[in-house]
Amino acid sequence: MKFFKNKLLFTLALILTITMSYSQNSKKSSFTMADQILGGMTCVIVQHSVADFDNWKSFYEKDEKRRKKAGITEKLLLRGASDSNYITVVFELEHVKKARNFFEDPNTPKLMASAGVTSKPIFTYFKVKNSGISTAKSFLIIQHTVKNYDDWKKEFDKHQKVRSDYKISLTALGKDLDNPLNVVAIFNTDNTDNITSFLEKSDLKEVMKNAGITSEPVSQIMALAKNNY
C-alpha cells in the first residue's frame, strides 16, 4: 500500500512540474502560434504613409471583418523607426487571387483615403521559404534582386554568424511572387541600434556583392506598433 501511495505522489509531482514549466515558457513569448510567420505561407507586405497613425488604426480595425472574409490575416503591424506615420503591415493570405481582388476592390482605396493614407500603397506578394519565431520589437526589411536564388541563399546562410553577432534573427525569407528573383527578407532584434550597426559596420555590402545581388538593396528599419505587445 505504501508503494502505491508513493507512486501516486511521484506522478502528481511530475504532472505539477510539467504544468508549471509549460506555464512559464508560455509567459516568456508575446507571440502565439497564430502570430508566427511560417515557412510555406504566402504573404503580402502593404506599405504606405498616413496623416495620423491613431486615426488610421481606428479605420483599419473596423475593416478587419472584411479582411477576414477575404482570408487575409495580420501577422505584423510595423511603424517606421524614423517616421512613425509610415506603416508596414505583413498579412498571411489564404488565397492570393482573393487577396489581390480585395486590395484592388474600388472600396479599398476609398477606405484608405478616408483613413488618411497619404501615399500610394506598395504591395509585395511573396512566398515564405524560411522563417523563425520572434518576440522582438525592432525589425529590418530588405528587398533586392539576385542573379540566382540558390547561389545567393548559400552566401546568405554563411552570413548567419555575423547576423547573430549583432543579435539579429530571421523572421521570414521569401521570393516575390511577381518576380522570383526579387528576395524579401524580414529580420528582428531587440532594438534599432543593432540594425544600424549591422548595416553600417558589418561586412554586409561586400557579402551582398559576392552573393550576386543585381539591384540596389532597399532597407527599412521598423518598430512594432505599440498595441502589438
Cβ atoms of residues 96 and 125 within 8 Å: yes
C-alpha cell at 165: 553577432
Q: What is the pLDDT of residues 149-159, one digit of tens each?
A: 999 999 999 99
C-alpha cell at 185: 527578407
Q: Which fold has domain 36-228?
A: Alpha-Beta Plaits (3.30.70)
Radius of gyration of the CA atoms of the chain, in A: 21
Query: What pTM did the predictor assign?
Result: 0.81
Instruction: Quote the CA–CA distance of 13 and 5 in Å, as a whole number.
Output: 12
Neighbour tally for 47: CB within 10 Å? 20
Q: What is the pLDDT of residues 119-176, one digit of tens each?
A: 999 999 999 998 876 778 999 999 999 999 999 999 999 999 999 999 999 999 999 9
Boundaries of every domain in the chain: 36-228
